[in-house]
């Protein structure tokens, strides 16, 4: 089977132990992102299966029309709105969903909270430039950590906060509110109350139509001048331009972000602000997560190639994918 792995920025997929599972197949790996469907399709002649690294490439009808041999798309992590599933189904392309772990993004979130609170990046840069102790950060102990979205990742971050002596509060949809209450985490009356109460506010929501732009200018303006806004989930959860404007206005006082509206590259104006700690979407980018994500994605491709597809998002795309017990 001819398989293409897209958007391997670091050229690291071949170094993973799980890559050996694809032995015997014709595999190509692309190390850069192509926004033009025609340009991308020109590099994928005869490709029968795509392996996607999260949401780095959008699978549109225009792209699918240029890939006549394509039969399957295997997603690392859960398939999301970056894939036009209806268009895939119409063309008989089976979409295979993967699995993941909340550990890596939760750990990165906490690393950003501590690094921003103690102004670590600035102090490290100052030390390299020959300056000693140029700022005054603060501890997190005794302060309030707000979690917007108490799902698997938010729950882990809440645990880190408790371990560091923080008061944890949350707000979210009904299911996550119930989970928080079961864990003894106070659920505030509104999202606005959560932003106003938090010394550190961390966003942990999936990007779906209902959550796009869920964080607006009013929420950010409710934060205090010494508070920290953290987003390691999706940039699109925030109204476009709202975080940049809020930081320039002084509420919140700091931000730590791992996600951007345009990736790769990020928002140059936001990244340039001195009160912003920015990282290049590292949430799940570490070896253990990659072995898990790609291992599952490769297994899904192999099962499809063997005629026994599993983890199928759109079983109606193919008679084989719709077989009992295969979804």
263 a catalytic residue: yes
Residue 35 DSSP SS3: coil
Q: At what angle do helices 174-182 and 152-163 cross, to 10 degrees?
A: 30
Instruction: Check: CB of residue 311 under 8 Å from CB of residue 72.
Output: no
Euclidean distance between CA atoms 264 and 256, whole angstroms: 17
55 a catalytic residue: no
From the candidates 123, 263, 286, 291, give the one annotated as an active-site residue. Answer: 263
Quick one: CA dihedral 50, 53, 54, 60, positive or negative? negative
From the candidates 71, 179, 251, 281, give the one annotated as an active-site residue. Answer: 281
Euclidean distance between CA atoms 161 and 156, whole angstroms: 9
Euclidean distance between CA atoms 139 and 126, whole angstroms: 20
138 a catalytic residue: no
Euclidean distance between CA atoms 94 and 100, whole angstroms: 20
- Please identify which residue in the block is written with the tokens 């560091």: 164
The conformational region for residue 3 under phi > 0 = left, psi -120 to 50 = alpha, else beta, is beta
Cα Dmax for the chain: 67
Euclidean distance between CA atoms 73 and 48, whole angstroms: 9
Structural element, H or E, at residue 72: strand 72-75
From the candidates 54, 155, 179, 234, give the one annotated as an active-site residue. Answer: 234
> Catalytic site residues?
234, 263, 281
């Amino acid at each position: 089977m001819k398989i293409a792995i897209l958007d391997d920025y670091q050229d690291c997929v071949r170094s993973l132990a799980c890559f050996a599972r694809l032995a015997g197949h014709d595999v190509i790996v692309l190390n850069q992102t192509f926004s033009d469907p025609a340009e991308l399709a020109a590099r994928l002649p005869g490709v029968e299966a795509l392996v996607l690294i999260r949401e780095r490439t959008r699978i549109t009808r225009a792209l699918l029309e240029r890939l006549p041999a394509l039969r399957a798309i295997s997603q690392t992590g859960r398939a999301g709105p970056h894939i036009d599933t209806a268009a895939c189904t119409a063309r008989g392309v089976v979409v295979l969903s993967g699995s993941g772990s909340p550990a890596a993004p939760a750990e990165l979130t906490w690393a950003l909270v501590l690094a921003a609170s103690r102004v670590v990046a600035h102090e490290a840069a100052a030390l390299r430039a020959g300056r000693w102790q140029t700022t005054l950060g603060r501890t997190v102990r005794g302060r309030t950590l707000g979690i917007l979205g108490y799902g698997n990742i938010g729950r882990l971050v809440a645990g880190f906060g408790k371990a560091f002596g923080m008061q944890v509060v949350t707000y979210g949809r009904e299911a996550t509110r119930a989970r928080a209450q079961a864990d003894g985490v106070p659920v505030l009356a509104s999202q606005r109350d959560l932003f106003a109460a938090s010394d550190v506010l961390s966003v942990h929501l999936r990007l779906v139509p209902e959550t796009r732009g869920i964080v607006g200018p009013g929420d950010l303006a409710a934060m205090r001048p010494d508070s920290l806004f953290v987003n390691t989930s999706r940039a699109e959860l925030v109204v476009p331009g709202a975080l940049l404007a809020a930081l320039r206005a002084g509420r919140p006082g700091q931000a730590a972000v791992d996600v951007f509206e345009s990736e790769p590259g990020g928002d140059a104006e936001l990244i340039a602000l001195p009160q912003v700690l920015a990282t290049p979407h590292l949430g799940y980018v570490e070896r253990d997560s990659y072995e898990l994500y790609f291992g599952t994605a490769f297994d899904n491709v192999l099962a499809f190639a063997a005629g026994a597809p599993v983890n199928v998002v759109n079983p109606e795309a193919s008679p084989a994918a719709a077989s009992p017990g295969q979804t």
